[in-house]
Structure 1
């Protein structure tokens, strides 16, 4: 089975025409496709199934509690499979049955440990002001993001603990936020703001075969060892912003073989 992965296209401001990758069985969109949602229409009628996990920018300026239901309605009309704290079994043409687990996985700001949490949350204030979202009539601030992040973490942990019992051959996790500091953007390193992009889900990574993410405007493809089993592969195919040079080196047609 082969996947095409795209994220952080930012079609609300960027000029980019996504094209199907020859040989792909599935397209995965790992968030921040278009803050206006209009860009999702480009994936209607895609030649293979499309799986979409929202990113933080899909929530911009909106009431967070209404976003997933509204996006689900749009995606259903467009023929796109939306996942947020949900699983999906996909039967590939080669006979593989793959379980996909999808969640935004908002930051819980614990990537540097509990002692640095407050500092990381203060740094997140800048991003939350730009986002300008609400939740149940209140500002969607760092505290609210942490609550959502912990809920995502709890859901993922429970889903990854579920035994396959012959129902699937592989598991692929798709999140927008990164699962490890190993995915930190090398331009910025390990500063408090990095906690708004990466989580400390390193203990969960060995429980999946592949982990796909976005959010960092750089590419990653690395292995995480696990005892007695093939290493977990962690990948990001984020495009980012052209005027910052972030799209340089992106191969949008790259195939990820499971």
Structure 2
């Protein structure tokens, strides 16, 4: 069975990073947010630093990968650029097979309902606030159904979530004899949130509750995600949920000389390799 190197949320444009030396693996899975700009930064970085270390590379774009781009256009270009670089880009529920393991991937976005259906409207207002909400809705553009340029507001993210979730569900419903892994950038369960539970409306921009997909007969063996800058390893139903995000590194040298280490996620393991 394949060895799988798991990474996410590297943010190499904000805080440059190079993976430490390590063994070559069968499959590298990167669950989004390498950098701002899928084609300009993320895919070139993966091609330089991850492709040489893995026989196969699967990348699921995160929200930051789409900042300062027009979403459908960037994804179209990204699929071509990824293929040329030897990377499999799974952005909206596509699947690939590596050594008998089916990998299903999608950015997923969110349904804004993790705090309850009654809180969805509030969560969307908070996420979409142009001053203090999610920067995605100021820095990402999209197109409407007619192809006309349009702002990427919370209803657009919700529509993508519905589409991505439906494709994941349809794929999981198909018979498969081997292991299955789902990879999303946004988290699939409230236990992945920063505090391990819903505490405020903005939490709905980071995770949705997809327990139903992990408790059924066709549940994936593993669900890998990013977006929440905290390491996670827990079980829901039949599925192991894993996240290994680097997050931001704001370490600095003090005026008196010593190096001060400030890591957003000190539990990040740059050599996390899963052996199925």
When the two structures are superposed, what TM-score results if normalisation uses the length of structure 1?
0.89
Q: Call closer, same or farther: CA 1:174–1:187 in 2, change over 3 Å.
A: closer
Displacement of 1:21 after TM fit?
Answer: 4.0
Match of 2:61 among 54, 73, 76: 54
Using the alignment, how far apart are the partners of 2:21 and 2:139 within structure 1?
30
Using the alignment, how far apart are the partners of 2:188 and 2:73 within structure 1?
25
Do the aligned residues in 1 keep the contact of 2:114 with 2:209 (CA within 8 Å)? yes
**Are 1:246 and 2:247 an aligned pair?**
no
Larger relative contact order (Cα-Cα within 8 Å, sequence gap ≥ 6): 1
Using the alignment, how far apart are the partners of 1:101 and 1:120 within structure 2?
28
Using the alignment, how far apart are the partners of 1:32 and 1:257 within structure 2?
24
Using the alignment, how far apart are the partners of 2:22 and 2:174 within structure 1?
32
In the alignment, structure 1 segments of 5+ residues that lack a partner are: 92-96, 227-231
Displacement of 1:224 after TM fit?
Answer: 2.0
Aligned to 1:174: 183
Larger Rg: 2
Aligned to 1:163: 175
Displacement of 1:189 after TM fit?
Answer: 5.0
SS in 1 for 2:10: coil
Displacement of 1:246 after TM fit?
Answer: 1.0
Using the alignment, how far apart are the partners of 1:190 and 1:179 within structure 2?
16
Deviates more, 1:176-185 or 1:10-19: 10-19
When the two structures are superposed, what TM-score results if normalisation uses the length of structure 2?
0.83
SS in 1 for 2:65: helix
In the alignment, structure 2 segments of 5+ residues that lack a partner are: 251-261
Displacement of 1:73 after TM fit?
Answer: 1.4
Using the alignment, how far apart are the partners of 1:60 and 1:120 within structure 2?
21
Displacement of 1:62 after TM fit?
Answer: 1.5
RMSD of aligned alpha carbons? 1.8
What are the equivalent positions in structure 2 for 1:198-217 lying under 5 Å apart?
198-206=207-215, 207-217=219-229
What are the equivalent positions in structure 2 for 1:1-258 lying under 5 Å apart?
1-19=2-20, 21-22=22-23, 24-37=25-38, 38-44=41-47, 45-48=51-54, 49-84=56-91, 85-91=93-99, 97-125=100-128, 126-127=133-134, 128-135=136-143, 136-164=148-176, 166=177, 169-186=178-195, 189-206=198-215, 207-226=219-238, 232-243=239-250, 245-258=263-276
Using the alignment, how far apart are the partners of 2:164 and 2:13 within structure 1?
26
